[in-house]
Structure formats: structure tokens, C-alpha cells
């Protein structure tokens, strides 16, 4: 989504991103049955990994909710850094760390937020 948005002029980029989020992710989250909407994302993710071939709604919802969470994180980082940094910077930091440390030890979930803090100075 961001790769496409970056290729567009600034005013069109924002509109494209909002359209994509609304019609791709928010729409699918809103379509979900109430029992799926009420599940916490970590639990839903665990359930979806075992039900994806039986009930694709869980997988679609996990994907959409994860994308919306990433959108919120990206918007917060951009707001706090006056659009100097984005979620992408945190992901690049994580990939760079993984490239230099992958043969030694994988990163843990406790380390995950630190990649974004190191790259963006946003907690």
C-alpha cells in the first residue's frame, strides 16, 4: 500500500491510502461476526492458524486487524516525528539487526518494540 502511495502526488497519496484502508481492511473487520470481533487479536491469531482452511473469516480478520494496527502505529510515529520517520524505519532497523544477528540468535518479542524505538525515538 505504501509503495503505491509513495508513487503518487502527495494529495493523491493520502486519498489512496485512506481509500485502501477503508475498503480493504476496515470493511473486512466490520463484516466479521460478533464473536470474531470480540476476540483479542493474539487469541484470534492463534485460532486462525488452526482454522484457516475451515473458516477463512478468522484469517481475514487477523490480517485486517493487524494491518489496521500497523496503520495506527505508522500514524503515531509520523505524528510524533513530524513525518520524518515512519513504521517503515522500524521495520528496516529490525531487518538490519536480523541480517547481522540471524546466525547468532533470533530476536524475541520483548525486543520487538526496541527496534521501533531505536529507529524512530517513538515509544
Terminal Cα distance for the chain, rounded:
24
DSSP state for residue 23 in the 8-state scheme: I
Domain-wise residue ranges, the chain: 1-80, 85-123
Residue 103's pLDDT is what? Answer: 67
Angstrom distance (rounded) from CA 123 to CA 116: 8
pTM of the model: 0.76
**pLDDT for residue 1:** 66
Q: Does residue 50 contact residue 61 with C-beta atoms inside 8 Å?
A: no
pLDDT at 3: 65
Residues whose CB falls within 8 Å of the CB of residue 110, separated by 6 or more in sequence, listed in order: none
Across the 123 residues of the chain, what is the mean pLDDT of every consecutive 10-residue run?
Answer: 70 84 92 90 86 79 91 93 92 88 78 89 89
The shares of helix, strand and coil residues in the chain, as percent rounded to the nearest 5, are 75, 0, 25
Which 8-state DSSP code applies to residue 7?
T
What local confidence, expressed as pLDDT, does residue 78 receive?
92
Amino acid at each position: 500500500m505504501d509503495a503505491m502511495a509513495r508513487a503518487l502526488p502527495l494529495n493523491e497519496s493520502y486519498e489512496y491510502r485512506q481509500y485502501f484502508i477503508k475498503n480493504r481492511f476496515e470493511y473486512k473487520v466490520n463484516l466479521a461476526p460478533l464473536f470474531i470481533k470480540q476476540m483479542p487479536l493474539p487469541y484470534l491469531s492463534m485460532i486462525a492458524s488452526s482454522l484457516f482452511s475451515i473458516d477463512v473469516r478468522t484469517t481475514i480478520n487477523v490480517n485486517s486487524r493487524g494491518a489496521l494496527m500497523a496503520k495506527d502505529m505508522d500514524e503515531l510515529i509520523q505524528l510524533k516525528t513530524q513525518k520524518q520517520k515512519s513504521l517503515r524505519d522500524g521495520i528496516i532497523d529490525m531487518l538490519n539487526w536480523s541480517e547481522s544477528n540471524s546466525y547468532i540468535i533470533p530476536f524475541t518479542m520483548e525486543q520487538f518494540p526496541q527496534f521501533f524505538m531505536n529507529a524512530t525515538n517513538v515509544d
